[in-house]
Structure 1
Amino acid sequence: MTLGGNDPSGGAGLVADITTIVSLGCHPAPVVTALTVQDTHNVHALLPVEPAQLLAQARAVLDDMPVAAIKIGLIGSAENAGALHTLLATYPDIPVVLDPILAAGGGTELASPKLLDTLRTLLLPLVTILTPNSVEARRLAPEADTLEACAMALLEYGCRYVLITGGHESTGEVINTCHGNNRLLESYRWARLPGHHHGSGCTLAAAIAALLAQGQELEWAALSSVVRRAQDYTWHALQASHRLGGGQLLPNRLFWASTHRGSV
């Protein structure tokens, strides 16, 4: 099950999640948290659904289908975050991957201070894997002076693992780091690709959720292969990106099946 916003450009949000999940061999069950007005440049309007509508969508599926993993992206409002806390607390055995979308790639703010506080206090204790980029990690843990300190602070809030992605840093390679058990578990280095990509964080988190849904254990000895495989899939989707609009590149999440790219 993936909970997120609808992006009419198809680059991020639920469309990105659905394509990723299908590409990795799972069935997606999408729950709309918000409608957006956006293109490949930026988000121009955010229209959250009502918390009761969010819960009704999710419960209809959870009561009917064997959901094996939950992925959360754009939440839309602090009230929706509270509703998600209620939902996740009812299903404590389903692993949760949270991509904390706090701002659009074009800069539009997507998370109020109240939503940030609700994320920290109500949702992070129920999250299996948190996947912030470095900017999001610093916003969620503003008291920390390094990215490793951010990860430790986020673990203190209660999530089990924190995978911080380094695409926004100035390093030659993209360096991602995964933390758990109050320590750095593994560091990953990926060749930095040219351009800016729309929906890379959605792709990574959805890939982790899809692989978790296939019965992976949550102890690090088994989970490490899931985290690495999801990053590898995401890197190849970004490498195969195409330009369909005037802004950011759109990842090709079906890169392995595509012989022609560039058409809407």
Structure 2
Amino acid sequence: MSSESPPIVLTFGLSDPTGGAGLQADLLTLASMGCHGVSALTGYTVRDSAGSDEVTGLDPEVVANQARMLLEDMPVAAFKVGATTRAEVVSAIAEVVADYDDVPLILAPDFTLDDEHVLAADELRETIADLLVPQTTLLIADAATLIALAQPDGDAEAPSLDAAIAHLLSTGCEYILSMETGTHRVVNTLYCEDGQLRQDLWDRATQPMLGLTDTLGAAIAALLANGQEPPEAVREAQEYLYQAVQSAFRPGMGAWMPDRFFWARSNENEDSGEDGEKPAGDDADLPPPGEARH
């Protein structure tokens, strides 16, 4: 027995009972990548793999108290913030993480749950842009989300993607990973204040998939907690996500889910000496270590 724990990552987000996204996806990913995940619940969903029927947010003070008790007890090496549901919850999280400005923060916002509540969604975007983005080490979002964060009230003319990225970086965010999904490819571009750092192209999943952004964000958080620099963590986390998607499974009647423990099942097959078809995540189908798939 050892008293030394793995690196600890605190993730804020929704409970997803399917295990496909949200806190459950984060905790699976963190464990797979050698970290101990702890969590502060922002709300819970009633859903299955095909869709969500109900989202209930928690009281902001409850969210903050969850996080503070953990932070006073354990040395947290990284934060990840996912879906937050309400502006007041964002404010509570921002106040907590402000006391730990040396701890890297991965922000992967999700506004899709608020589509029917336009005013609430605008307030949510504005609060994230004002209070969380300036504290963020790495922001992960698609182009529409980045533009919405740069112009949250929706009144003025929407900025271009380049202008939105420049604005968000100017507020204090250190890195932005812009995710663009095309017909056949996913293009992930990493930016910092000096401009574009890297661009990676990946084959797009052919099936509907749950939890891609949460998995990528949690993987980056795990690598930062293990001491990697953000550009290297972004590269390695993308390779991890690609392999998890290659080994994806469909547990129900809806979306597929990345297999965050693809490597464990691959080893089981090798150890058992099974013959026949190779698993989808076999090394023969994967990019070499350290290289992006093009």
Q: TM-score, normalised by structure 1?
A: 0.89
> What is the aligned counterpart of 2:111 among 102, 106, 122?
102
One-letter identity of the residue aligned with 1:30: S
Does residue 194 (structure 1) correspond to residue 206 (structure 2)? The answer is: yes
* Residues 108 and 7 (structure 1), Cα distance of their counterparts in 2 relative to 1, 3 Å cut: farther
Partner of 2:6: none
Does residue 66 (structure 1) correspond to residue 75 (structure 2)? The answer is: yes
Larger radius of gyration: 2
Partner of 1:46: 55
Task: Report how far residue 134 of structure 1 moved.
Answer: 2.8
| Separation (CA, whole Å) in 2 of partners of 1:174 and 1:215 | 27
| Separation (CA, whole Å) in 1 of partners of 2:69 and 2:248 | 35
Task: Report how far residue 109 of structure 1 moved.
Answer: 6.7
| Separation (CA, whole Å) in 1 of partners of 2:230 and 2:125 | 27
Deviations 1:56-84 (A, max 9, x none): 11011100101000001111210000101
Q: TM-score, normalised by structure 2?
A: 0.81
Q: How does 1:1-264 map to 2 (within 5 A)?
A: 1-103=10-112, 112-142=121-151, 143-167=157-181, 169-170=182-183, 172-216=184-228, 222-258=229-265
* Residues 231 and 108 (structure 1), Cα distance of their counterparts in 2 relative to 1, 3 Å cut: farther
Contact 1:155 1:182 in 2 (8 A): no
Deviations 1:84-118 (A, max 9, x none): 111011111111000011115xx777961111110
Secondary structure in structure 2 of the residue aligned to 1:177: strand
| Separation (CA, whole Å) in 2 of partners of 1:162 and 1:109 | 27
What is the percentage of aligned positions where both structures have the same residue? 38
Q: For the aligned residues, what is the CA RMSD?
A: 2.1
One-letter identity of the residue aligned with 1:200: L
Secondary structure in structure 1 of the residue aligned to 2:76: coil
Task: Report how far residue 144 of structure 1 moved.
Answer: 5.0
Contact 2:150 2:159 in 1 (8 A): no
Q: Which moved more, 1:252-261 or 1:68-77?
A: 252-261
| Separation (CA, whole Å) in 2 of partners of 1:231 and 1:214 | 16
| Separation (CA, whole Å) in 1 of partners of 2:159 and 2:75 | 42
Secondary structure in structure 1 of the residue aligned to 2:85: coil
Contact 1:102 1:109 in 2 (8 A): no
| Separation (CA, whole Å) in 2 of partners of 1:58 and 1:194 | 37
| Separation (CA, whole Å) in 1 of partners of 2:217 and 2:102 | 18
Secondary structure in structure 2 of the residue aligned to 1:197: coil
